[in-house]
Amino acid sequence: MRPHSLLLAAALLAGAPAAVRADLGRGPEERIGHVVEVVRDFVVQQLSPAQHPAPQAIPDAPGIGPSVDLSDLSRPAETERAIREAAPHPGPNLRLTVPNGHARLGDFTIGSAETVTGHLLVLEGNANVYGRLLGNLVSVDGNVVVHPGGVVSGDILALRGTVRDGGGEIGGEVRTLSAAAVPPAPAQAELSALARTGLNAAGIMGVFLTLLTLGAGLVLFARPNLEVVSDTVSHSFGRSFVTGLLGQILLLPTFGMLVVGLVLSVAGILLLPFAVVVYGLFVIVGVVGGYLAVAHAVGETFVRRRMARGVVVGSPNSYRYLLTGLLGLFALWAAWALFGWVPIAGDLVRGAAVLVTWLLATAGFGAALLSRAGVRASFAGRLVPPEALTDEYLWATPQFGVPAARRPDGHTPRGTRRDDASR
């Protein structure tokens, strides 16, 4: 059997329309192309049956139900508005009258041996024309396909659909309308400067309270690790920033290597979802935890300098350091919330806030990587054991057992200066 005969038989067995059997006198190439086109349309229709309702005729209701005139399709927007008003929710109980025509719901096909007289309206379905239609054709939420041998004597209008001429004959004009002809939605009133300020302030306050809550949890359950990361930022800021920048660059390549390595093994495929979630959590914890460590370092530096000037601080502990540091880091964001409505200054303040936040988050992320999430204190500036140095170096009073001549001139490594209150 020849190849085009095999294609023809396959299409017939698959339940393709009767148009496949038409025009058998054509050449082999034309017959093969025709069969392939019909089979393709049939397969697409079978694979997506849920997109359109079940095909059925819409009964006429002269003088009772709504009526739609399809004799003039020169104004597509008005035609669509009339159809939408007459059939706002097409369904099985719809009654619609088309003067000198018919209405169908769902996909509709005119067979190669059929002739339909009058206008045709197809709602929520595709119109396939293999035979003859003596009138205008309108489809709503569907496509129109005029197949080889198909004839439409009038105009064709596709509302929210397309028209494809597959080799048939169209006697009138072809029009499409992709957007619904509905009046545009009223423009929303622009927010006032006070309203924008309130919205910005509420958003920043929400982020601030969230970070403060997470930071309190870190102090409560992982204070030693937080202090090590904080000291790493203070004493190795440049190295921490470079490490964090490289870590950001290598995040995606590392993730790709992890996925590929797990896929190549049988057991790794089962662990892939778990590994992806854990990797994402590690990245989030590293970035957020590093940023909180930076806030801790900023707050600790500020509080200890006040103590060095003789200011009495009630309770110099990690909670106070974290709160003070977050207030300082959010100062730029607070300025943006107040002056963000200013055309140029607001954008400049927001850009500065974004840049500073990125720099500090990058340094914190790098410090978390260098210190292994606070486990290794090599870059934290802890050169002497904690018991050798105390907060008393910040005061003018002498330290017991250490001569004044041997006291260090500069600042003491922060990682070795933990007061009892913070513990």
Averaged pLDDT of the chain? 79
Task: Tell the residue number behind the tokens 């500020």, with chain if given.
Answer: 302
Return the H-helix or E-strand segment holding 175: strand 174-177
- Count Cβ atoms within 10 A of the Cβ of residue 54 and give its class: 0-12 exposed, 13-18 middle, 19 or more buried: exposed
Angle, helix 237-249 to helix 345-370, in steps of 10 degrees = 90
Residue 410 pLDDT grade (very low, low, confident, very high; cuts 50, 70, 90)? very low
Q: Is pLDDT above 90 for 250? A: yes
Residues 6+ apart with CB under 8 A from 45: 107, 126
- Look up tokens 């400049």; give the residue: 348
Place of tokens 């907060």: 391
pLDDT of residue 64 exceeding 50? yes
- Greatest C-alpha distance within the chain: 115
With a pLDDT cut of 70, the percent of the chain lying above it is: 74
* pLDDT score at 186: 52
Instruction: Give the model's pLDDT for residue 281.
Output: 93
Query: H-helix or E-strand containing 146?
Result: strand 144-146
Do the Cβ atoms of 70 and 154 come closer than 8 Å? no
| CA 84 distance to own-chain centroid | 33
Strands in 156-159's sheet, in edge-to-edge order, are 56-57, 101-105, 119-123, 137-140, 156-159, 174-177
The reply to whether the predicted model has a pTM over 0.75 is no
Least confident of 53-57, 108-112, 317-321, 408-412: 408-412
C-alpha pair distances (Å), 333 with each of 195, 201, 357: 17, 9, 9
List, for residues 367-397, the tens digit of each pLDDT value: 999 999 888 888 877 554 555 444 544 444 4
Answer whether residue 9 shows pLDDT above 70: no
* pLDDT band at 31; cut points 50, 70, 90: low
Residues 6+ apart with CB under 8 A from 118: 98, 100, 101, 102, 134, 135
The answer, yes or no, to whether residue 132 has pLDDT greater than 90, is: yes
Q: Write out the two tokens for 218.
A: 């870190």
**Residue found by looking up tokens 């197949």 in the block:** 147
For the purposes of burial, counting CB atoms within 10 Å of the CB of 156, is it exposed (0-12), middle (13-18) or buried (19 or more)? buried
8 A C-beta contact, residue 192 and residue 210: no
Report which residue type is found at 39: V
